[in-house]
Amino acid sequence: MFSPEKILQEYFGYKSFRPLQREIIEHTLSGQDSLVIMPTGGGKSICFQIPSLGLPNLTLVVSPLISLMKDQVDALHANGIKAAFYNSSLSEFEKSQLVEDCATNKLKLLYISPESLIHAVKSWLRKLPVSLLVVDEAHCVSMWGHDFRPEYQQIHHLREVFPDAPMMAVTATADKITRRDIAEKLGLRNYELFLASFQRPNLKLTVRSQIAKNKKEKEILDFVRERQGESGIYYCLSRKETEEWSNFFNSNGVSSRFYHAGMASSDREQVQDGFIKDEYNVICATIAFGMGIDKSNVRWIIHNNLPKNIEGYYQEIGRAGRDGLPSDTVLYYNYRDVVLLNDFIKDSEFKEVYQEKIKRMLYYAEASSCRRNIVLSYFGETITENCGNCDNCLEPPSMFDGTLLAQKALSAVSRSHESVGINLLIGILRGADTIEIHEKNLHKIKTYGAGKEHSFVEWQHFINQLINQGVLEIAYDQHLHLKLTDLSGEVLRGAQRINLAAYQEKKQEKKTDRKQKTTLSSDEQLLAELKNWRKQIAIENKVPAYVIFHDSTLTEIASRKPLNEKELLEIQGMGQTKFERFGSTLLEIVQAFQTVPKKDKRSTFEHTFELYEQGLNVEQIAATRQMSENTIYAHLARLYEEGKPVNLNKFVSEYDVNRVKEARKKLNNNNQLKPIFEELNGDLDYRKIGLALSILAGQA
């Protein structure tokens, strides 16, 4: 009897289903169509991966994200599931191999790009028995979505070719019109809509508006420095900005790379790969980055500008914290962004739709109520409780009667004939003595200096709210001048009162909460060791670290410290295949960690050194210490670098050291293992490269 629960535990190492997963799986197994809408990180993949194991023939997964396919397939292999991908990156030989694997029913899942699908369906694919059709990123079929792809229009032919296979359309973002459009364009039959909650409680939402450049730079630098070693994405609107911000970070000691569609695809791949493998933590990118990335431990997202729409924004921040651990998102914006965004779309066929989306985005950014509820209501979810994890919930603004303030501002706008922008309006209200004000005769109007008691930023804060409440409007097509609205008159006449949120300087996060601590707790030390181990294995297997284990799994191991197989199997994410591959090593790491007195981190190296001095070889030291040989080699390298008399030349020849030296020179003294490994065409293993680098460091 096929049991989804059992599969979930055995292959994926999870104890229970998330909401809707079970229903979707059963619905699919009973042969019916479905439209599945779940936020990024919600757990969509399992909804079709588990049915694929219970169905007799192939499950076909159409996905536009070619760069993601290999990682998805690697992750399935790591869980012991037979899968493959078919796209333009395969050689002819690989393709024919794969066609044969399909014909002999060796695979459960086949990922395929829409371009390749069109050809494949005309030839070999149509002859195959297919049990299930999955369309991932299904919103790409709709022009109402935010990522329309013409190739998706062809997918509905699948229905004619495989009339008996149920179809599952899957997406992370779709408002109501888009949903209906997806069902129609794909030809879903009698389908059921599964709409998961868009709640992502681990994401903290913060918005910072109209911050001066130097202040913003300082804020961001502090933010990133407090999160050293944590991965994050800095999203910019333009290619130029990605490069500028990346330079800014690098020149301030934060190692960063930029990424945009104007780069050669090999360069982009390298940046993406290095990010996934934790070789560097900060990527400054346009929104082109991230679509093909399934990295579970992205800890923060910053938007340098206002995004185009809420769907895109929520998907972008959704790339943080997929492992469920707390993650930060900060959105910076100013009114110039709105001008730019409107400019982008001015010739578009769908201009009105896009304009409306920008407006909603701005409304979100300027809101003083719970931000998560605004997003959720956008996706059709109504929640009455506040989230408690957005800036407005965490530091709720206190309200006061701002009618008089509003009247002063509105009167100044009116008396200056609606021809001033925010800055100039504030200048008038505060009685600024500038050339511009005198030239335009603005010092003569009645409310000149009427708002002296408030600072510039306070006024900014108030005026933003007036705009947000519809009492003032910004003319984006007229130099950002402020205009009166229907409501303005009522406020000026005193017929309508205005409530404003008081200004409060955003408190700096308490430093002690984060990285400022100098000593690590024992859990943190063990976690660091586990991550090191994972990195090594990931490099050896040429896969991203999360394919080996998610952060959340390692975190759980570090805190529960399992002592035997049974306890280890209880950890989330520990499926049977991974347990068989890594179980004993993990138990060793945990055990070794508990036997060595951890107060002094040095002692573990000294312990190795003592044994080395007694003349034991690496294998013997590893056996004595119940550690892997790789760990012992790493200890020896570190001891060597610290000047201890360890002879590393025993493990790597002088000839090889010189090869590494040459390779490194060619790579501009890059000390990363992977580029060197590749430069040497893969014929020197990572361990030797690492040892050679230690020797070279000693010579320098």
Interface residues with ligand ADP (CB under 6 A)? 14, 17-18, 21, 38, 40-46, 294, 296, 322, 550, 572
According to DSSP H, which parts of 570-670 are helical?
A: 576-595, 602-613, 618-625, 629-641, 654-666
Q: Considering beta carbons, is residue 294 or 391 the nearer one to ligand ADP?
A: 294
What is the closest distance, in whole angstroms, from the C-beta atom of residue 393 to Zn ion in the complex? 3
What is the closest distance, in whole angstroms, from the C-beta atom of residue 519 to ligand ADP in the complex? 31
What is the closest distance, in whole angstroms, from the C-beta atom of residue 2 to ligand ADP in the complex? 17
Q: Which of 73, 375, 387, 568 binds Zn ion (CB under 5 A)?
A: 387
Contact at 8 Å (CB) between 583 and 612? no
Does 110 bind Zn ion (CB under 5 A)? Our answer is no
Tell me the Cα Rg of the chain: 29
- Residue 296 binds which one of Zn ion, ligand ADP, none, with CB within 5 to 8 A depending on kind? ligand ADP
- Residue 461 binds which one of Zn ion, ligand ADP, none, with CB within 5 to 8 A depending on kind? none
Contact at 8 Å (CB) between 566 and 599? no
- Residue 468 binds which one of Zn ion, ligand ADP, none, with CB within 5 to 8 A depending on kind? none
Contact at 8 Å (CB) between 99 and 85? no
- Residue 370 binds which one of ligand ADP, Zn ion, none, with CB within 5 to 8 A depending on kind? Zn ion
| Sign of the Cα pseudo-torsion (617, 619, 622, 625, in order) | negative
Contact at 8 Å (CB) between 425 and 417? no
Q: Considering beta carbons, is residue 13 or 307 the nearer one to ligand ADP?
A: 13
Q: Considering beta carbons, is residue 558 or 622 the nearer one to ligand ADP?
A: 558
Q: Which long-range contacts (CB under 8 A, 24 or more apart) does 368-376 make?
A: 368/392, 368/397, 368/465, 368/468, 368/501, 371/205, 371/207, 372/199, 372/205, 375/198, 375/310, 375/314, 376/197, 376/198, 376/199
Report the alpha-carbon distance of residue 541 to residue 526 in Å, rounded. Answer: 22
Q: Locate 162 and state its tokens.
A: 């495989």
- Residue 40 binds which one of ligand ADP, Zn ion, none, with CB within 5 to 8 A depending on kind? ligand ADP
- Residue 574 binds which one of Zn ion, ligand ADP, none, with CB within 5 to 8 A depending on kind? none
Contact at 8 Å (CB) between 265 and 240? no
Q: Considering beta carbons, is residue 492 or 557 the nearer one to ligand ADP?
A: 557
Q: What angle do CA 347, 352, 357 make, to 5 degrees?
A: 110
What is the closest distance, in whole angstroms, from the C-beta atom of residue 396 to Zn ion in the complex? 9
What is the closest distance, in whole angstroms, from the C-beta atom of residue 465 to Zn ion in the complex? 18
Report the alpha-carbon distance of residue 89 to residue 328 in Å, rounded. Answer: 35
Q: Considering beta carbons, is residue 125 or 393 the nearer one to Zn ion?
A: 393
Contact at 8 Å (CB) between 80 and 11? yes
Report the alpha-carbon distance of residue 608 to residue 621 in Å, rounded. Answer: 7
Q: Considering beta carbons, is residue 41 or 114 the nearer one to ligand ADP?
A: 41
What is the closest distance, in whole angstroms, from the C-beta atom of residue 623 to ligand ADP in the complex? 35
Q: Considering beta carbons, is residue 402 or 575 the nearer one to ligand ADP?
A: 575
Angle between the N-to-C axes of helices 551-560 and 522-541, in degrees from 0 to 180, rounded to the nearest 10: 140
Does 203 bind Zn ion (CB under 5 A)? Our answer is no
- Residue 14 binds which one of ligand ADP, Zn ion, none, with CB within 5 to 8 A depending on kind? ligand ADP
Residue 353, phi then psi, degrees to nearest 5: -60, -45
Q: Considering beta carbons, is residue 21 or 392 the nearer one to Zn ion?
A: 392
Binding mask 429-458 for Zn ion (x = CB under 5 A): ------------------------------
Q: Considering beta carbons, is residue 41 or 402 the nearer one to ligand ADP?
A: 41
58-62 and 83-86 as β-strands: parallel, antiparallel, unpaired?
A: unpaired
Q: Which of 390, 538, 592, 657 binds Zn ion (CB under 5 A)?
A: 390
What is the closest distance, in whole angstroms, from the C-beta atom of residue 13 to ligand ADP in the complex? 8
Q: Considering beta carbons, is residue 45 or 464 the nearer one to ligand ADP?
A: 45
What is the closest distance, in whole angstroms, from the C-beta atom of residue 374 to ligand ADP in the complex? 22
- Residue 393 binds which one of Zn ion, ligand ADP, none, with CB within 5 to 8 A depending on kind? Zn ion
- Residue 387 binds which one of ligand ADP, Zn ion, none, with CB within 5 to 8 A depending on kind? Zn ion
Q: Considering beta carbons, is residue 372 or 659 the nearer one to Zn ion?
A: 372
Dihedral, CA of residue 70, residue 71, residue 75 and residue 76, to nearest 10: -30
What is the closest distance, in whole angstroms, from the C-beta atom of residue 47 to ligand ADP in the complex? 8
Give 3-state DSSP helix, strand, coil % of the chain, rounded to 5. Answer: 50, 10, 35
**How does DSSP assign 436-484, residue by residue?**
HHHHTTGGGSTTTTTTTTS-HHHHHHHHHHHHHTTSEEEETTTTTEEEE
Tell me, by CB under 5 A, how many residues bind Zn ion.
6
Q: Considering beta carbons, is residue 315 or 488 the nearer one to ligand ADP?
A: 315
Residue 555, phi then psi, degrees to nearest 5: -60, -40
What is the closest distance, in whole angstroms, from the C-beta atom of residue 219 to Zn ion in the complex? 21
Q: Considering beta carbons, is residue 14 or 148 the nearer one to ligand ADP?
A: 14
Q: Which residue has the tokens 């892997």?
A: 628
Chain residues 5-64 in contact with Zn ion, contact rule CB under 5 A: none
- Residue 390 binds which one of Zn ion, ligand ADP, none, with CB within 5 to 8 A depending on kind? Zn ion
Q: Locate 501 and state its tokens.
A: 């949120």
- Residue 322 binds which one of ligand ADP, Zn ion, none, with CB within 5 to 8 A depending on kind? ligand ADP
Does 393 bind Zn ion (CB under 5 A)? Our answer is yes
Q: Considering beta carbons, is residue 550 or 607 the nearer one to ligand ADP?
A: 550
Q: Is 402 helix (H, G, I), strand (E, B) or coil?
A: coil
Report the alpha-carbon distance of residue 183 to residue 467 in Å, rounded. Answer: 38
Cβ-Cβ contacts under 8 Å for 363 (sequence gap 6 or more): 374, 468
Contact at 8 Å (CB) between 113 and 64? yes
What is the closest distance, in whole angstroms, from the C-beta atom of residue 22 to ligand ADP in the complex? 9
- Residue 550 binds which one of ligand ADP, Zn ion, none, with CB within 5 to 8 A depending on kind? ligand ADP
- Residue 327 binds which one of ligand ADP, Zn ion, none, with CB within 5 to 8 A depending on kind? none
Residue 332, phi then psi, degrees to nearest 5: -105, 140
How many residues are given for the chain? 700
Q: What is the side-by-side order of every strand in the sheet holding 231-235?
A: 203-209, 327-333, 298-303, 231-235, 282-285, 256-259
Chain residues 322-381 in contact with Zn ion, contact rule CB under 5 A: 370, 372
What is the closest distance, in whole angstroms, from the C-beta atom of residue 12 to ligand ADP in the complex? 6
- Residue 317 binds which one of Zn ion, ligand ADP, none, with CB within 5 to 8 A depending on kind? none
Q: Considering beta carbons, is residue 393 or 684 the nearer one to Zn ion?
A: 393
Point out which residues bind Zn ion (CB under 5 A).
Answer: 370, 372, 386-387, 390, 393
